[in-house]
Every structure is written in structure tokens, then in C-alpha cells.
Structure 1
Amino acid sequence: MKKKRFFKIVFLFFLIVTSGTLVRCGEKPEAEKEPNDSFFTATPLAEGRAMQGFLASATDRDYYTFRVDEPAVIDIELSAIKGVNHAFQVWRQFKGQELLKHIDDSRKSSPERFCNLYCAPGTYFILVMHGDRDTPTGNSENPYLLKYKSRRYSREEAEPNDAISTATRVEENKEIKGYFSPAFNRMNDKGDAPMREEDWYEFRVSLDDFRAKLVTINLTGVPGVNATLSLYDAKKELVAHSDSTGSGEGESLRDIGISSEDRYYIMVASKSFESNHDSPYKLSLTTNEYDEGSELEPNNDIARSTALADGDIHAKIFPEGDIDFFRHTAGKGRSFYSITAAPPESLDLVMTIIGKNRQKIFEIDNGGPGESETFPNALLEPEFYVMVSAKRGQFDKGDSYVLSAKNYAFSDNYEIEPNDSRDKANRVVRKIIRGYISKKHDLDYYLLEYSKRVKITLEIDGVPGAEMKISVTDPAGYEIRSEELSGDRSIQVTEMIDGRGYLIIEALRENYERPYQVRIREE
């Protein structure tokens, strides 16, 4: 009994506190004037003055009306009713009555609020009603309090802006504010996110001489809300999305490439139906001219790859989960390429080289955070792709990585990867071999073939900072001689080859930048 009485006292205190925000000290609320169960019998509602009413029966519906004479933003509050899930709707008088918003958080004994309805001059209605959660039950003992207040409209979203068709215009370099209010949009019946409250904004991009521009969109954080930020094109197709931070933190879309003059749309939403009626977010938009030395987002799939020339290109991994594709098309015929992705200290990159047929050729994941990923000797056709990503959970909205692709002419004395097994061994056709350590614990196999038994001497020049094991095998691949080589020293290995054998160079410590060299001399 004591426990039950305690909770009753706590609930009464809650009702007093929430009602106290609607009624000023010493002020007596007005009473609804029944019958007010239609638009035509609506009770007039004065700004700033609380109205007391009852949902006395399961079918009770209370209509109120107010008028706006100049553009304004309206904040509507409805206090809780003990044991009742109630809701309210906002209507506008326009060629009849037009429903603007349906507010219902589906909780019993809970207040409702909508803090930022944009009102052009005209007549409006508020309908207080039972919510959808439970079977409606009347309560003729506990009243609700309804109140609205207004403020001047200036640089703010124009609710309802819940769809592309009602998007609020946002201008470059001019900040605009909005609210995560209400928590649910009962009029949103879209299959992918039903009842999600969405704020839509529209902007246009003009291009100079048809040159692409980079758009950056920043959204500030709001306490208690985990926000998401999305960009759509005029065809309502998703261009970019950001959900990389947590509750109370902002989101950004940075340097998104825009290559056609058209309308674009920004969508702001909370991730899990959170709301904040008191603290606004701020949304801003800036543009810059596109520099061909930078990536052109979105390039998250191979069809939208950024052009990659034989030089440096700067790019960012942002937001979390970002993947960047680049397409190389310059040149004629097969060439060797040295491809490097140099990250900031915050990122551990993975680089993948993809052929013209869109099949993966090499994946490079040799370094750690802040260390470059390099493939020094990829033999490729002129058209190929490079995909760059970061390890799970990593992103950097401030610092760029640098991707470079440098080619050098094909020569048959250069090592051709992959050659990390006997069946993939490079056949030696010249007296000089130039090869690279291409990955951790790299193995390079070379096939030595002669028409007879021959004695050969191998002169091997090492690589600064690297260590290698040099092995010679018999025709079956069994090791008959091995030596270790450290740094940029040179060693000689002399051995008999019975018509056929293998030279194996194994990396014990890597240096991906410099080649080793092998000179072969027959005795």
C-alpha cells in the first residue's frame, strides 16, 4: 500500500510540474466551450493563455481555433492526462480544412508538444483527441491544458517540411535552424522509415563553365538526439549519407561533387525517434570549385569512380564506412604502375586494385595507422580501378590521404606479380632481374631453365632497410642452397642447376619503395 501511494504522489507531482509550464502563477486557465466537436464549433484559443479541457468519453474530440495575422512560428503544448494516451492534430483553413501535422508519441500519461509549426497568415485549428495506442477511455476527472505561443519567423525551417514537395529553401553561406520536433510523424507512411520525423531542405547549384563544384553540409548537434544527414538529387536518388557520430554530436557531408545544375535536397532526421523541443540544430551549406587534384564525391561505387591521372589526388575517408573508387584510363598498352595511398596518422588504409573487367587483382594491407600502402609493380592495362577504404570504425573529416599512380614502361626483366608459388613463377629470360617486395612476407619465384646442366652465379643487390632470404632449388622445388641478405649489401650465390631450378626471394623485413636486383652469370 505504501509503495502504491508513493507512486501516486510521484505521478501527481509530474502532472503539477508539466501543467505548471502551461499556466503562469496566479493565472486561471480558460475552459473549453462544449460542444466543440467540429471545425464549426471550435473554441477560440488565445495566444499565451492556457485552455482547460476534458476527453470525457471514448469518442470525445475537442476542436480549438486561432488566427495568425503575419508569418510566425507556433509552439503548441498539451499537458498529460492520467492514464490516457492522447494526441493532437493541427489543421489549416484553406479551401476547406487541410491537415498539417498529427502529434502522438503513443505513451499514456505523457504530454505532447510541437514547437515549430510555420504559420502563414490565416485561420488554424487544433484538434485534441485520443491516441492510437490503446482502446480510447474517457477521463472526466483529470483535465488537460492546451496552450500555444508564437515567435517571429526568421531563418528557420518552415514546418511542415516533411517531404521533398514541402522542402524549406536553404541558401549558401546562410545558416538556418530547425528542431527535432515532434518525435514521430504520424503522417509518414513510407515503407523504409514509417513515422520518422524528417526535415527536408532544398537548394540549387549553378556551375561556371559546367565545371563541377564541391558541396559541404554541416549539421550541429542537439542534446539527446542522434542525428542523420542525407543528400538527394533531383531524381530523389541518394547522393550521400552521414551517420558517423553519436547522441548530441553533429554530422557533416564534406566535399560532395556536384556536376549538374539542378535542385538538390537535404534530409535531417533523428536516428531513433529522439526529440528536443528546446534546443535547435543549425544547418549550413557551402560550395567550392572542384580541383582535379581532389576526389569527386560521391565515389562510393565503381560506376561513380573519380578520374585518376598519373599524379597525386587528395581524398578523405568520411563519414564512417566511406569507400572511394578511382578510375585510371590514361596511356596505351600494358605498363607497370607504382600505386601508393598515404594516410594521415588517424587512418589504417586498405587499397584494392581492380582490373578493367572489375575483378580484384591485388589487395594491399601492409601498414598500420599512418603508414602508406604501396604496390610498387602492378602490371596493368591502361584502364584499371583503385578502391581505398579504412579499417572498421575509422574516419577523418579533417585530414586527407594522398593517392598516387605512377607508371614506368614494360620490360621483360621486371618481376610480374603474382609470382608467389612455383606454378606462378616468372620465367627468367634476361641476365638481369628487377623485383620488389610487394607485401608482407612476400615470396617471389623465378624459373631458371637451361638446355643442360650448368653452373651459375647469382649476384643479388639488397634493399635499404629490408631483409631477404635467397634460396635456390632443384627441379622439384627442394631447397639446395640459401643465404640471408640484409639492407643494401650485395651477395653472390653459386650453384649447379640441373637443367631446371627455382630462385626464391622471401621477404623477412619489408621495404616496398626500392627494388632488389639479381644478375645471373653462367660459369
Structure 2
Amino acid sequence: MVKKIVFSFILLQVVFGVSVTLASWEAEPNNTIQQANPISANGEYSGVISSSSDVDFFGFTVNEPGNLTISMPNNVDSSWYITLYNSSGAQLNWTYTDRGQFVSGDKKDEIGLSPGTYYISVGNSYNAINIPYIFKLKFDKKGLFEQEPNDSVQTATPFSLNNEYRGNLNSSADEDYYRFSLNEPGNITMSMPNDPNSAWYIYLYNSSGKELTYFNTKRGQFVTGSTSDEIGLPAGTYYIRVSDSYDASKKPYLLNIQFEQSRFYEQELNNTTQDATVIDINYRYQGVINTSNDTDFYRFDVDSPGSYTISIPNNEEVSWGLTIWDQHGDIIDAFTTERGSFISNVSSKRVGLKKGTYYLQVGHPYGSNPSKIPYSFAIEHQQFNDMNVNYWAYNEIAFLESKGIIKGYSNGTFRPGNQVTRSQAATMISRALGLSLNNVTNPGYRDVSTDFHSYREIAAVTNAGIFPKNATFRPNDNLTRAEMAAVLVKAYNLTGTYDGAITDVRDPELLKHVQALAGNGITNIYSDNTFRPNNDVTRAQFSAFFSRILDESFRD
């Protein structure tokens, strides 16, 4: 036996050109899982198959999730198979080395693993008896990986959204499942890099096992980039299945899922009136037709009878068909968006609606297939005559108006470009916080008399410590960005950090306020790293800042 080991050392050095230590050599008997040689998940290990029935087992434990790479040198004349098992003896992966006149290098395979104990077996695939072998394990804990076994919904790998996971289909029949949960409604975008030689299927299911959408990556000599798909979802638990579309086994893939929290997306499944996504008037929503059989339903209530306008941007390549139904299943109206080279920007339809519940259906018109192309629409009952739903801050303004925080003017205008005065800011903040206006303590401003139209609101926010108490309040002065930062941070006790540079704010207290707003996604720092604290704030800008504080779905 000693002679055999010594001879094997010499032969191993001749065949593979490597140096071997006694600690890395197999120790017989190790022909079963129960007899497996203990090894580390990082290292090189050697042995020899002594007969056609001989199999060598090795066992190792990983304490954290990660990615295991198994490599073994190819050989001109011989071939070995390498099998990976979990602690229950279930086979997770199987491969064999290459042989032939022109082979070189190593055969490599990788697989994501969860914490646990695993076993590797090495056996004779072709003419490998009494030929020493060497294999190497490398376990990478950095990054995010699938965790085998994840071949079913029950064993799905948890997926942390807004990240990229690496996985590997171990055979053409292998499937990888991932699980994620949404606490709020929003939009997810799934993407996977294309490959010239391989392609993958990606399916999305809800917790009931209903397929919501699917797509497959592209392949071919000239493909680049990634294939992606997006879909609006309600809160809940979801599953993704990755499978082989074309020659994708043993080839690592990258799965990226991004999530944007927002109530302004469709919420699949919404293919019937019973499952319709509930929407509000005067907001813009986004959806996507996922397949040729998909159709999207939305439900909305009309409280004020009158004229309503449904608008949807046109697309050169495709068109959408829109139908308005009443609650009794009768069609109120229908239209199709434009497509082609000389189309207008938007298709719209004005309809008269009585008080009641209605449904908007978006789907495929005859002769067009808008699958996988996002659309957006709005149902507008004009609130202000100086802007429409396409205005950049319309949703934010409508949100504050619906809560009674901000109001328009008596002539039907909102004047979004006008500056906000300090008294107007005090009024809006007092409304939003629900501050009591009864028996307020007079803050003693020389320029705010008790009969001033915003006296009680100014007194309330001053007594609450939101505005500083000075000799004067300057109620008709425009609110600056610096003042806005201070009052909003104090009103809502905001804290946060911002790592980027802010070059034009030197006051430590103001800098703290600006960093809190920027760190929470409430304000943006300009591309030249300035905040421009002395600039006045417009009514539209203040509405945007305020809405982002009250509803995180408005944040970038």
C-alpha cells in the first residue's frame, strides 16, 4: 500500500505536473457517503480510482450561502465523473471531464449552495482506473447566488430585490426557482444578459401558481445586451422560474430584478373586471400587455358627473385598443391609438360619464401586437385649467389637492410656476400636520396682525417649532430652497445622510437639513453638486417635495 501511494505521487506529478502533499490525498476506505473523507470547500484534493467499482467520496460543510466552483483537469486518454450531493444524498450536480487528442485545460462546473453539508464523489468515466486525479474546490461567499436545491417552489432561493443573482442550470432538465415578496404595490423589471450560443426562459408566478408573464433571452452571432420584461404587481409573494431555452445547461446566468414602489402601475393579474386594478381620476398609470392573450382592466369611480378625457401616448410601432365599460357591462365608448411615421403624440377620447363605477380595458386592437411594450394613460376630469396630466408634477399636485393641503385659485388655475410665499408654506404645513388653529398663542410678529388671513396657521407652525420665532415673519416673501429644507425637516423630524458633495451649502445646520432631504430622495442635488439654497421655490416644486415626504412612491 505504501508503494502504491509513493508510485501514485510520482505518477500524479508526471501526469499533471503538480506537487501533492499527503494531507490532500484521499484516505481509503471512502467508497460511500458515510466513509467520505472530510475536506474544505476551498482546496485541491487527489486520489486514484483502483477498480471499475471504486468510487471516492469527500465531504465538506459551508456555513454561509455562496457559489461553489468544481474544477478537474481534462486528460487526453481518460475521463472522470464528479457528482455533488446534499446531506440527504440527493444529487445536485453531475459532470465529467473531457478527453481526446486536442483537449486541454480544466473542466469547470459551478453551483450556488445554502449553508449545510455536501458530498462529492469521483468515479471512472472512461479508462481512468489507476490514473491519479486531482480536483479543486473554490467557494465564493461574496456576491449573491442561487442556493441549490431550488428546483421547486417549496425550495425556492430567497431573492433580495434590486440585486443581481448568479445561477447555473446543471442539466437541460434543471429548473431554478427564486422567491420574493412585495410589501407595497409597484413595478418589477426582470433582466438577463443575452448570450451568442445559449438562451434561457424566465417565468413569473404569483403565490397561487398562476403564470403572470414570461420571456426568453436572445441568442445569435450578433446579440448583445440583455433581454428584460416588466410588470406591475400588488403586494404579495412571487416566484421566478429559470429554465433552459437553448443549450443553457452548465452555463452561468445572471438574473437581475429591480423594484419601484408605486401605486401608479397596473397590478397583475388584472385580466377581468373582477380582478381590475383600482385607479383614481387625474393620475397617470402605467401598464404592459405581457402576451398576445393578455388584456388589462382598470376600475374607477365617478363622483361628479361630467366630461372626462382618456389620454394615452401613441407609439410608432404598435397601437392599443381601449374600451370604456359601465358597471352593467355595457360599452360606453372605444378607440384605438395611432401608429405609424406621422402620428400625433397622444390619442385621446372625451366621454360623458354619470356618477357610478366604470372599467377601462386596454388590449390588442386588430392587426397590432403591443406585447412587452409599456403604455401609460390617464383619465382626467380637469381640475386646473392651466395644466394637464402630462405636466411633470401633476400627480404630486393632484395628490396634495385631494388631501386638502394645497388649493387652486378661484378662476380655476393652479399657477404651478408661481413662487410659494412663506405664509402659503405655513398654511400648507399646518393643514398637512393637522395642527389645531383654535386659541393659538400669538407669536408676536410685528408684520403679522391677528386679522392677517394666515395668522392662525403662522402662529400654529411657529408654536410647533417649525418656523423660527423672530421679530418679523415676512409672510409675503418668497420661500427659498434653504428655508424649505429647514421647515420640512423640522415638520417631519427627518434624518438621513448624503454621501455626495454639496459645494454651495456651508452652514452646518443647513447642510444637515439638505442632506436629510437628499438622503431620503425628497430633493435632488444638481449635476454641478449645488443645492442653490437662495433660489425661490415654485408651487410645483413645493408640491413635489411635500408629496415625496407624505408618500414614498413619489420618490425617485
Amino acid at match of 1:394: A
Aligned to 1:46: none
How far 1:439 moved relative to its partner? Answer: 1.6
Is residue 2:190 matched to residue 1:336?
Answer: no
Amino acid at match of 1:266: I
Q: Does the 8 Å contact 2:73/2:134 carry over to 1?
A: yes
Equivalent residue in structure 2 for 1:288, among 126, 140, 161:
140
Alignment of 1:137-148 (within 5 A): none
Q: Does the 8 Å contact 2:69/2:111 carry over to 1?
A: yes
Q: Does the 8 Å contact 2:49/2:124 carry over to 1?
A: yes
Question: Once the two structures are superposed, what CA deviation does each residue of 1:54-106 show, in whole Å capped at 9, x if it has no partner?
Answer: xxxxxxxxxxxxxx6x352499xxxxxxxxxxxxxxxxxxxxxxxxxxxxxxx
In structure 1, what is the Cα distance between the partners aligned to 2:361 and 2:60? Answer: 63
Amino acid at match of 2:160: A
Query: Structure 2 length as normaliser, TM-score?
Result: 0.51
How far 1:338 moved relative to its partner? Answer: 0.9
Is residue 2:225 matched to residue 1:365?
Answer: no
CA shift in 2, pair 1:182/1:502, >3 Å: same
Aligned to 1:374: 229
Is residue 2:173 matched to residue 1:317?
Answer: no
CA shift in 2, pair 1:477/1:421, >3 Å: farther
Question: Once the two structures are superposed, what CA deviation does each residue of 1:168-200 show, in whole Å capped at 9, x if it has no partner?
Answer: 4555654334455533x2xxxxxxxxxxx4221
Aligned to 2:84: 231
How far 1:302 moved relative to its partner? Answer: 3.5
Which has the greater radius of gyration? Answer: 1
- Mean alpha-carbon deviation: is it higher for 173-182 or for 302-311? 173-182
Question: Once the two structures are superposed, what CA deviation does each residue of 1:229-263 show, in whole Å capped at 9, x if it has no partner?
Answer: 22234x44336212388776865442533524x6x
Q: Percent identity?
A: 16
Is residue 2:68 matched to residue 1:215?
Answer: yes
Alignment of 1:436-447 (within 5 A): 436-441=287-292, 442-446=294-298
CA shift in 2, pair 1:505/1:453, >3 Å: farther
Q: Does the 8 Å contact 1:477/1:501 carry over to 2?
A: no
Is residue 2:56 matched to residue 1:199?
Answer: yes
Q: Does the 8 Å contact 2:41/2:61 carry over to 1?
A: no
Q: Does the 8 Å contact 2:201/2:215 carry over to 1?
A: yes
Aligned to 2:376: 516
In structure 2, stretches of 5+ residues that fail to align are: 10-19, 220-224, 383-556
- SS across alignment from 1:484: coil
Alignment of 1:339-488 (within 5 A): 339-345=189-195, 346-356=197-207, 359-365=209-215, 367-369=217-219, 371-381=226-236, 383-391=237-245, 393-395=247-249, 397=251, 399-410=252-263, 414-420=265-271, 424-426=275-277, 429-441=280-292, 442-446=294-298, 456-462=308-314, 467-472=318-323, 475-476=329-330, 481-485=335-339
In structure 2, what is the Cα distance between the partners aligned to 1:294 and 1:268? Answer: 25
- SS across alignment from 2:31: coil
How far 1:220 moved relative to its partner? Answer: 3.3
In structure 1, stretches of 5+ residues that fail to align are: 1-67, 76-114, 117-151, 186-196
Q: Does the 8 Å contact 1:221/1:281 carry over to 2?
A: no
In structure 2, what is the Cα distance between the partners aligned to 1:218 and 1:257? Answer: 16
In structure 2, what is the Cα distance between the partners aligned to 1:417 and 1:405? Answer: 17
Q: Does the 8 Å contact 1:226/1:246 carry over to 2?
A: yes
Is residue 2:7 matched to residue 1:72?
Answer: no
In structure 1, what is the Cα distance between the partners aligned to 2:39 and 2:362? Answer: 64
How far 1:266 moved relative to its partner? Answer: 0.9
- SS across alignment from 2:319: strand
Amino acid at match of 1:516: S
Q: CA RMSD in A?
A: 4.5
How far 1:340 moved relative to its partner? Answer: 0.8
CA shift in 2, pair 1:470/1:276, >3 Å: same
* Greater fraction strand: 1
Q: Does the 8 Å contact 1:180/1:269 carry over to 2?
A: yes
Amino acid at match of 1:306: T
* Greater fraction helix: 2
In structure 2, what is the Cα distance between the partners aligned to 1:423 and 1:303? Answer: 29
Q: How many residues are matched?
A: 352
Aligned to 2:44: 175
CA shift in 2, pair 1:511/1:445, >3 Å: same
- SS across alignment from 2:30: coil
- SS across alignment from 1:72: helix
Q: Does the 8 Å contact 1:222/1:281 carry over to 2?
A: no
- Mean alpha-carbon deviation: is it higher for 164-173 or for 493-502? 493-502
